[in-house]
Amino acid sequence: MGMKKNKMIRLTVSYLIILLMCVVIIYPLLWVIGSSFNPGQSLSGASMFPKNPTIAHYAHLFNPEKSNYLYWYMNSLKISIITMISTVILTSITAYSFSRYRFIGRKNGLLTFLVLQMIPNFAALIALYVLAVRTELIDTHLGLILIYVGGQIPINTWLMKGYLDTIPKELDESAKIDGASHMRIFVQIIMPLAKPIIAVVALFAFIAPFADFILARIMLRSNEKFTMGVGLYEMVAKQFGNEFTTFAAGSVLIALPIAMLFLCFQKYFVSGLTAGGTKG
């Protein structure tokens, strides 16, 4: 009886907190959505529920004669997806090595990079620009993707390594005795058990390029190669008369693929070790 009552209280409190958080989260976002339907261009004239809503800003974005938004959208999707796949692959193999093998640089290698990434990189932009010019990767999506992937490796590798460390080593060893190769153990035994963390890494890698406008603004030169981050930033970066409402419309559309991706990954988030890993 007491157990049941306890459970009721716990769940009720949980739902209440979640509800409160949802309000705090959604309220400002409703403003973004609301202002994207407002006529006019400025932020402060906008209201959450405009009296005479308009889809003019969306129409503007999707009109190829007026804006390159569709290009930017496709570019961003392309860059994010490639970055996501490459990051997951690179991070997995790196994390696996760090978790299971001994080699020079294993102990401090990752931490060194985590620490190095803390150094603010304002000036680094010039360096990356010149490097890209020298390697002829300037104004290409490839150059940008390489930087995104590289920047993502340390933190994600650390995260994944931590997770892999909790997968019992006996699993690999018994497979090894059965004659499985390095690659097979990795792909067929370890990776399926690491799904939750792979989902997290994939999400991180997917979002990063969407949010970035600083790097992309330096590396990309032609308007039709821009990502959404750059394109949208240019809209509000104008010193005077920025197009805030159009920009809000563009931002709403950024959030969509990310939210969708997250929904798709939901089932991986919960398929953890408990799904049978430890019991072999």
Partner 1 sequence: MDGINPAIKHGRNAALLSIIPGFGQFYNKQYVKGFIFLLLTIAFFASFLDTLNWGFWGLFTLGTIAGLDHSIFLLIDGIIALIISVIGLGIYIVNIYDAYNSGKKRDHGLAISSVKEQYHNLLDSGFPYLMVSPGFLLLIFVVIFPILFVILLSFTNYDLYHSPPAKLVDWVGIQNYIDIFKLDLWRKTFFGVLGWTIVWTFVATTLQVALGIFLAILANQKDLKGKAIIRTVFILPWAVPAFVSILIYSGMFNESFGVINTGILHAFGIDPVPWMTEENWTRLALIFIQTWLGFPFIFAMTTGVLQSIPDELYEAANVDGATIWQKFMKITLPMILFTTAPILITQYTFNFNNFNVIFLFNGGGPAIPGQNAGGSDILISWIYSLTMTSAQYGKAAAITMLLSIVVVTVALWQFKRSKSFKEEGMN
Partner 2 sequence: MKKALSIFMMLMLLLGILVACGAPERETRSKSPDETKNKDKTAEEAKPEKLIVWEDIDKAVALKPAIASFEKEYGIKVEFQELNMADKMRDQLRLDGPAGKAPDVVTLPHDQIGQVVIEGLIQEINVSDDVLDTFTESSVNAQMYDGKLFGLPKATETPVFIYNKALMSKAPATMDELYTEAKALTKGGQYGFLALWDNFYFAHGVIAGMGGYVFNQTDNGLDPKDLGLNNIGAVEGAKYIQKWYKEGLFPKGIIGDNGGSTKDGLFNQGKVASVMDGPWAFQGMKDAGIDIGISELPTLPNGEHMKTFMGVKGWNVTAFTKHPYWSTKLIEWLTNEENAKIRFELTQEIPPVKTLIEDPIITDNEGAKAVAIQSQYAVPMPNIPEMAEVWEPAGSALQTIATGKAEPKAAMDDAVKSIETNITTNHPSE
Contact footprint for partner 2 (CB under 8 A)? 39-46, 126, 129-130, 133, 138, 217-218, 221-223, 234, 237-242, 244
Residue with smaller CB distance to partner 1, 225 or 277: 277
Nearer to partner 1, 28 or 178 (CB): 28
- Tell me which of 67, 91, 245, 246 binds partner 1, using CB under 8 A: 91
Separation between Cα atoms, residue 156 and residue 15, nearest integer Å: 31
- Angular region, 222: left φ>0, alpha ψ -120 to 50, beta rest: beta
CB 75 within 8 A of CB 139: no
Cα–Cα distance measured from residue 276 to residue 208, given in angstroms and rounded to the nearest whole number = 32
Q: Which stretch binds partner 1 (CB under 8 A): 55-63, 66-74, 216-224, 240-248?
A: 240-248
Measured CA to CA, the distance from residue 157 to residue 204 in angstroms comes to 12
Sign of the Cα torsion 233, 235, 241, 245 reads: negative
The least distance separating partner 2 from the CB of residue 44, rounded to whole angstroms, comes to 3
Structural Rg of the chain based on CA atoms: 23
Q: Of residues 147-206, which lie at the interface with partner 1 (CB under 8 A)?
A: 147, 149-151, 153-155, 157-159, 162-163, 165-166, 182, 196-197, 199-200, 203-204
Residue position matching structure tokens 């430890």: 278
Of residues 12, 21, 74, 221, which one binds partner 1 by CB under 8 A? 21
Residue closer to partner 2, measured from CB, 49 or 101: 49
Residue 214 Cα distances to 32, 124, 148, 217, angstroms? 22, 11, 12, 5
The distance of closest approach from Cβ of residue 56 to partner 1 in the complex, given in angstroms and rounded to an integer, is 19
Answer with the entry of partner 2, partner 1, none that 213 interacts with (C-beta below 5 to 8 A by kind): partner 1
Do the beta carbons of residue 33 and residue 44 sit within 8 Å?
no
Residue 218 interacts with which of partner 1, partner 2, none, CB < 5 to 8 Å by class: partner 2
